[in-house]
Amino acid sequence: MDLVDLIKEKRFLGQEFLTWLWFYCERNSGLIDVKGIGGTEIWFEEQMVLDSGNESITCKGGSLSFAEARTAVREGKKISKARLRAALDGQEYRLTLNAETLEITGLRLPRTWELSEEEDTGLAGRFLDRVAMINEITDLINGLFAQYLGLRLTELWPERELKDFRRWLKD
């Protein structure tokens, strides 16, 4: 099986992951504890794209409750992209996460230096700082996905998580 076929076959995992993350974040007011990273806050904001294979919709707007998106999920559409904001170690990141590949796009990193400090920091220092922040947000996404898979592959999934998710979806 080539890579493209494998991605297509496993695409549902990323879609289900983003849906679970949305549910989990709303249920816990954005607070989530990630093994190896600690407490963080995650919010879904501004934009979410959902599709059913042959049709897609985009829900846009600031601080949405995503009522339209929730209705689309009820109708069988899956999240294919979501705009996220994450607070990690006092720093705020913004990114778009693609469900099919878990690719991070549109990443906005926090500024860790002031313009007046720019000369003192140096180009190499700023570059290394940004690389470290990219590693942090990548580790966060990987940790969240591992947490999702840890639940998804246990008997708790249908008994607890799926039942809670269906209740949340109806509310």
Residue 48: is it exposed, middle or buried by C-beta count within 10 angstroms (0-12/13-18/19+)? Answer: buried
Q: Which amino acid is at 53?
A: G
Per-residue pLDDT tens for 13-55? 999 999 999 999 989 999 999 999 999 999 998 799 998 878 8
Q: Could you say which DSSP state residue 160 is in?
A: I
CA 167 to chain centre: 21
* pTM, full prediction: 0.86
Determine the 3-state secondary structure of 86 from DSSP.
Answer: strand
Rounded-to-integer distance, Cα 83 and Cα 35, Å: 23
Bridge-based pairing state of the strands 78-88 and 56-61: unpaired
